[in-house]
Homo-oligomer: A and B are copies of this chain.
């Protein structure tokens, strides 16, 4: 790989110029006024592929087009789907930016601009790695299929609709997907995110008397909707921090000894975690560490609750409600969990209360740590970053990963080049230029390692 490494060293300035070009396009998908910028960004990305001699196309969608490009199939070698997005978040509050969001500015080894890390900078590492291979060898060692969308920040409606078509399934047929849109474990410590939690998001509506009642005249003889709501929500988790919905844990894949060992070896401090979020202590499911609770165990959290008045009015309110969710681990079925939670709550509903529980969900995913793709990615990252990655999970969901699993039947390698303090979605978004170049190098080696791993 010396030829490619040498090419990368020689192209440093050019790569940064290319990144700045893309960052100057204000492709805010949430802003209808930026429709021309969306199209300009899509054209720019497609142009990159065309410039390296690859066929590229814009696939029409309900919103901004999808950019698609592919390299030729390499016999006996895997096909890899590379996903990214060219749209960015809004920039408000504008006055908090130290330099304008669409005038990329280098400060202290970072490039500051909206989209620097999320996801233009990270996505581009894979595009530029393909260019390096094409420029140096005239071909890729594996087949790459690039799918770069423009609606990631606004729920990917166009992509999701297209993914449900046979045409999409045929075009995207592949062995594994790669996404760089997450973070390293910390500065200088790259990571592979191999698991994501799913979610079952629910709303509960509690109805009691026809109208608010005076609690002096009626109190004690009327089932109070807020009292009831508190009792119902409190009943969903026991004193050990375990969810009480019958069957909730039936499908849970336990953390393996190997995973627990790896998580325990990560440089993580409970004390620093408490300082970070500003609490004196933490709680969670008994028998699990903080990282296990965040990444590998299901949860129950109420997100919003309402009912009655904030003033000092002594009424029994007619209505109350709440929104809550269970974060799920792989193998838990969100629809089943929602149905089981509804049944459990309904069986506890006291006389004088009407209850409605609705919900929607997304499945969690986990990529087997012992698969060959994972080993190849680990070696590639070690080459790119000079340090072997740690294997981490993420407590949230990335819907496209679930969708790739469902629609294409593939696993996704989440290779994050960003950092936790990159101000994603906030003013002064940044991306380390060193990590940008390390990411390109890691990507170049990834295609190499993936070809080795299956040969």
Interface residues of A (CB under 8 A from B): 197, 199, 201, 208-211, 213-224, 226-227, 229-231, 233-235, 237, 273-274, 277-285, 290-291, 293-294, 297-317, 320, 322-323, 325, 327, 350-354, 394-397
Residues A307 and B304 in contact in the complex (CB < 8 Å), given A237-B227, A280-B351: yes
**Bound complex: CA A21 to CA B317 (Å):** 39
Q: Which residues of B contact A323 (CB under 8 A)?
A: 308-310, 312
Interface-central residue, A274, A299, A350, A396, by most chain B CB under 10 Å: A299
Known A224-B301, A301-B215, A394-B217; judge A314-B308 contact (CB<8 A): no
Q: Is the CB of B220 within 8 A of A297?
A: yes
Q: Report the minimum CB–CB distance from A308 to chain B (whole Å).
A: 4
Residue pair A227, B301 in contact (C-beta under 8 Å): yes
| Chain B nearest Cβ from A347, distance in angstroms | 14
Q: Per a CB cutoff under 8 Å, which of B197, B217, B233, B314 touches A216?
A: B197
CB-CB nearest in chain B for A291? B221
B290 near A221 with CB under 8 A, answer: yes
6 contacts between A and B (CB under 8 A): A211-B278, A220-B285, A220-B327, A220-B395, A226-B305, A230-B231
Question: Given that A305-B306, A313-B303, A351-B282 are contacting pairs, would A277 and B222 also be in contact in the complex, using a CB cutoff of 8 Å?
Answer: yes
How many chain copies? 2
* Contact among B235, B310, B395 with A219 in the assembled complex (CB-CB below 8 Å): B395
CB-CB nearest in chain B for A325: B314
Contact across chains for A216 and B396 when beta carbons are under 8 A apart: yes
Could you tell me the distance between the alpha carbons of A230 and B397 in the complex, rounded to whole angstroms? 26
Cβ-defined contact, A220 with B294, below 8 A: yes
Residues of B within 8 A of A317 (CB): 303-304
Query: What CA separation (Å) do A320 and B281 show in the bound complex?
Result: 18
Give the complex CA separation of A274 and B208 in angstroms: 11
Q: Inside 8 A of A223's CB, which chain B residues have their CB?
A: 279, 281-283
- Closest approach, in angstroms, between the C-beta of A97 and any C-beta of chain B? 20
Contacts of A285 in B (CB 8 A): 220
Known contacts A215-B325, A219-B327, A396-B214; A229/B227 CB under 8 A: no
A234 CA to B354 CA, complexed, in Å? 18
Indicate if the CB atoms of A284 and B199 lie closer than 8 Å: no
Bound-complex Cα distance A214 to B210 (A): 36
Asked if B216 contacts A327 (CB within 8 A), the reply is yes
Q: How far is the CB of A203 from chain B (nearest CB, A)?
A: 8
- The winner among A220, A229, A310 for most chain B CB atoms within 10 A is A220
Q: Whose C-beta in chain B lies nearest to the C-beta of A210? A: B278
* Assembly CA distance A300 to B230 (angstroms): 13
Complex Cα–Cα for A395 and B316 (A):
13
Contact among B208, B281, B284, B396 with A217 in the assembled complex (CB-CB below 8 Å): B396
Give the nearest-CB partner of A208 in chain B.
Answer: B279
Nearest CB on B from A451, distance (A): 34
Report the separation of the CA atoms of residues A320 and B322 in the bound assembly, to the nearest whole angstrom.
12
A281 near B352: Cβ-Cβ < 8 Å: yes
The CA-CA distance from A213 to B274 in the complex, in Å, is 13
